[in-house]
């Protein structure tokens, strides 16, 4: 007998017994009132009527006992019906969702993840796995009715379950990605990649499949860059990667650098870049503010050139004009400097460069290990559209750095980060390893003329170094002309005045040619 038939039988029995109880009550009350009616007061009936209260009382007591039992049965029947209705509703809801799947994939990590989530009612299906240099990525697919944003809430539960040093990184795309750190993490050493097509690319790192990830900063939507991360996150090395890749792909006629190294250690090797340097590397905040002011003036100068040429940006300018990459891996040394004048001037100049620099080929690459909104003006930060968050102390820091709430506090450090490019989903990348003690080995083998800054000082004020001497001779070999060499290296035009700087430089070149037998 099914449960519905059982309920029908119980209902019929309840109605029958309830009717009996009320019938007894009615009979009892009827007998009780007869003695007070005209019929009961009739002389021949009255003696018998006086005897009716006793059976009336018995009937009422029997009715009460019967009614109490019927009421209990009615309460039970109502609760049973409610429970049955709830069970039917639950069954209907359950039928709309698949049952939790406890899978046995053969991979103990996958099985542990799936079964742990199943404990919390999260139903997912294992799809596949990729092995990266720093972590293994597991691809999962949520089953119908699941809210995937709940999965990362249990990252620390998974960490305990899998006995990991750091919590897994859970991200979302076409599928749910769960990144488990490798016990044998590998690092990618910097290597020269083929130059990408585009206007002005830089290498930022590699994806999980070891594909180089570059960004075209010549694209009007991606002109500037901001990276943030705590101590040990690999920020400086990642920015060195970008700089060295630019050196690999562009000549001094295409690209020059303005390097601000307020820590006075990480970019000192750039002093050897010669003609790549738009200005010498600066280390002092006062000098840094000076170079920012010169960059704003250069931006205005280029604006006038573009106005005369009737063009709107550097890509359309008909004459050779190098782009300028401005590097500073601790921008808050300027924007939060204790000296108010330095702080405010730096903030204003950086905001101008960020807002207007892209059209004139001036690109800002800024970093910080102190991602604090008070130290980084919003107007400046918002003009740096390409962003990278490396490992941070808290998840909220990723929001300030990239505008996205990402689990950056669970990253592995040493170049592990989330890259955010306008119009694209956040991408986890790994910056290559650059040995700081061998950083100069990554620099291109420059001709001597590309290692010196021209124009050279006047001959009477400066004795040529070995590299400068080589540069002069290389220029002469190329031009086959002493006057052209003087003009190219010293910026002096021909003059017949005896003892003039031009004549001194000409005599010097002639002597070098004779001594070296060029």
Strand ranges (DSSP E) for 232-275?
A: 255-260
Separation of alpha carbons 427 and 404, rounded Å: 12
pLDDT in tens, 280-293: 999 999 999 999 99
Q: Could you report the per-residue pLDDT of 196-218, keeping only the tens digit for each?
A: 999 999 999 999 999 999 999 99
Answer for the pair 474, 447: CB distance below 8 angstroms, yes or no.
Answer: yes
The more confident residue out of 69 and 200 is 200
| Residue 155 burial (10 A CB sphere; 0-12, 13-18, 19+) | middle
**Where would I find the beta strands (DSSP E) of 191-267?**
201-206, 212-216, 225-228, 255-260
Please, are residues 205 and 419 in contact by the beta-carbon 8 Å criterion? Answer: yes
The answer to whether residue 123 scores a pLDDT higher than 90 is no
User: Which residues pair with residue 136 across a beta bridge?
Assistant: 131, 180
The tokens 């280029």 sit on which residue?
302
Q: For the domain 201-442, what is the CATH code?
A: 3.40.50.300
What pLDDT was estimated at residue 127? 86
> Tokens for 92?
């209907």
pLDDT score at 261: 94
Among 59-63, 101-105, 290-294, 432-436, where is mean pLDDT lowest?
A: 101-105
- The answer to whether 161 and 170 are in contact (CB under 8 A) is no
pLDDT grade, residue 415 (50/70/90)? very high
Which has the higher per-residue pLDDT, 348 or 155? 348
Q: What's the angle, vertex CA 108, arms to CA 105 and CA 114, rounded to 5?
A: 65
Q: How confident is the model at residue 102 (pLDDT cuts 50, 70, 90)?
A: low
Q: Strands, DSSP E only, in 108-260?
A: 124-131, 135-142, 169-172, 176-181, 201-206, 212-216, 225-228, 255-260
Please state the rounded mean pLDDT for residues 226-232: 92
Overall average pLDDT of the 241-249 stretch: 93
β-strands 255-260, 225-228 pairing: unpaired
pLDDT of the residue at 44: 63
pLDDT exceeds cutoff 80 at 348: yes
Bond into 102 cis (ω within 30) = no
Mean pLDDT over residues 3-24, rounded? 74
| CA pair distance 469, 505, nearest whole angstrom | 12
99-106 average pLDDT score:
59
> 311 is written with which tokens?
């063009």
pLDDT at 168: 86
- The 10 Å Cβ neighbour count of residue 421 is 20
Which H/E stretch holds residue 490? helix 482-490
453 CA to centre of own chain: 39
- pLDDT top residue among 177 and 203: 203
Is the per-residue pLDDT at 39 higher than 60? yes
Q: With 90 as the cut, is the pLDDT of residue 346 above it?
A: yes
- Fold exhibited by the domain 108-181: 3.30.980
Token look-up 């000549």 returns 251
Provide the whole-model pTM.
0.70
């Amino acid at each position: 007998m099914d449960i519905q038939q059982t309920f029908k039988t119980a209902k019929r029995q309840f109605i029958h017994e309830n009717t009996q109880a009320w019938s007894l009550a009615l009979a009892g009350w009827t007998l009780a009132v007869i003695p007070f009616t005209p019929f009961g007061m009739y002389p021949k009936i009255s003696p018998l009527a006086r005897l009716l209260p006793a059976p009336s009382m018995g009937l009422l007591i029997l009715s009460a006992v019967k009614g109490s039992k019927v009421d209990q049965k009615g309460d039970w029947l109502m609760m049973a019906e409610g429970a049955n209705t709830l069970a039917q509703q639950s069954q209907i809801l359950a039928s709309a969702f698949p049952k939790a799947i406890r899978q046995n994939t053969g991979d103990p990590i996958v099985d542990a993840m799936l079964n742990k989530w199943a404990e919390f009612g999260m139903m997912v299906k294992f799809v596949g796995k990729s092995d990266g240099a720093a972590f293994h990525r597991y691809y999962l697919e949520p089953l119908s009715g699941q809210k995937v944003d709940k999965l990362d809430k249990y990252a620390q539960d998974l960490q305990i379950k899998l006995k990991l040093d750091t919590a897994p990184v859970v991200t979302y795309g076409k599928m749910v990605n769960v990144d488990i750190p490798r016990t044998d993490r590998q690092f990618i050493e910097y290597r020269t990649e083929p130059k990408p097509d585009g206007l002005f690319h830089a290498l930022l790192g590699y994806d999980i499949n070891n594909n180089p990830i570059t960004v075209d900063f010549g694209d009007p939507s991606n002109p500037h860059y901001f990276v943030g991360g705590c101590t040990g996150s690999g920020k400086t090395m990642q920015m060195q990667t970008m700089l060295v890749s630019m050196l690999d792909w562009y000549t001094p006629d295409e690209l020059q650098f303005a390097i601000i190294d307020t820590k006075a250690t990480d970019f000192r090797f750039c002093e050897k870049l010669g003609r790549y340097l738009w200005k010498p590397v600066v280390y002092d905040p006062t000098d840094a503010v000076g170079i920012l002011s010169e960059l704003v003036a250069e931006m205005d100068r280029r604006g006038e050139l573009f106005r005369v040429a009737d063009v709107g940006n550097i890509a359309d300018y008909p004459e050779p004009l190098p782009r300028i990459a401005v590097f500073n891996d601790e921008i808050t040394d300027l924007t939060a400097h204790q000296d108010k004048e330095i702080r405010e001037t730096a903030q204003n100049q950086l905001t101008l460069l960020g807002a207007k620099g892209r059209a004139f080929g001036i690109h800002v690459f800024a970093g910080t290990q102190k991602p604090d909104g008070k130290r980084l003006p919003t107007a400046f930060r918002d003009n740096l559209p390409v962003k990278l968050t490396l490992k941070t102390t808290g998840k909220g820091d990723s929001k300030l750095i990239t505008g996205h709430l990402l689990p950056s506090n669970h990253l592995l450090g040493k170049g592990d980060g989330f890259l955010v490019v306008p119009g694209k989903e956040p991408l986890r990348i790994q910056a290559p390893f650059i040995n700081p003690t061998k950083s100069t080995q990554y620099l291109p083998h420059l001709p001597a003329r590309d290692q010196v800054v021209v124009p050279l000082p006047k001959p009477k004020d400066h004795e040529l170094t070995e590299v400068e001497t080589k540069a002069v001779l290389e220029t002469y070999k190329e031009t086959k002309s002493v006057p052209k060499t003087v003009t190219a290296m010293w910026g002096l035009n021909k003059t017949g005045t005896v003892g003039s700087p031009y004549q001194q430089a000409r005599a010097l070149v002639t002597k070098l040619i004779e001594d070296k037998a060029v």
